[in-house]
Amino acid sequence: MGVSVAIFNPTVEPAIIALGMIGGSLSLGVVSGLAGVYLSERAERFREVRELERKLGGSLEGSIYEKAAQLVPVYVALWSFAGMLIFPLAAATPYIMAAAGILSLNAAFSVSVVMVMAMLSLIGAYMGRISGEGVLKSALRAILLGVLAFTVVYAAKLVLKGFILL
């Protein structure tokens, strides 16, 4: 949504906005979602293995626990990558439809923002369900974070508009 809000301008071709969102999604997904999550998860898991070895007074090399510590970071990184790729690509779909002449550019912007808010509410509801905090409370919290992100990006766009030709 940040790329959509930042780049949206009635004079910009919808394909440009879609490509910006896809590019942002790919870079975020590969760098942060895949590589960043893998490296941080790997470090945490291996720290746990070393701490457990220290407590046990022996090596866990070749154990099922060590093998799990090697596989879990890959699993978590792949899911993170998928999430950082799928959701933004879905949000770019209205702009692709606008480029094809199916939606107007303004409608594409509105539909994209609504889709992002709907996806955030679903993720929030899911997190509320698994945490036991409450589905509605967590869904609303996620939507509020989306509104905050929208507001911050839009405000930055207004501030920077005087410095950058938009």
The domain of 81 spans: 2-161
- pLDDT of res. 96: 96
Q: Is the pTM of this model over 0.85?
A: no
Six token digits for residue 95 = 């702009």
Q: Considering its fold, how many domains does the chain have in total?
A: 1
Per-residue pLDDT of the chain (166 residues; tens, 9 = 90+): 888 898 888 888 999 999 999 998 888 888 888 899 999 999 999 999 999 999 998 888 888 888 989 999 999 999 999 888 888 899 999 999 999 999 999 999 999 999 999 999 999 999 999 999 999 999 999 999 999 999 999 999 888 887 765 5
CB 95 within 8 A of CB 15: yes
In a domain, 166, yes or no: no
- pLDDT of res. 105: 95
> Token pair 């895949």 is at which residue?
34
- pLDDT of res. 165: 59
Six token digits for residue 134 = 């409450």
Six token digits for residue 148 = 């905050």
Q: How far is CA 105 from CA 7, 18, 24, 92, 96, in A?
A: 12, 11, 20, 12, 10
Which residues, at least 6 apart from 1, have a Cβ–Cβ distance to it below 8 Å?
A: 91, 112, 113, 116, 146, 149, 150, 153
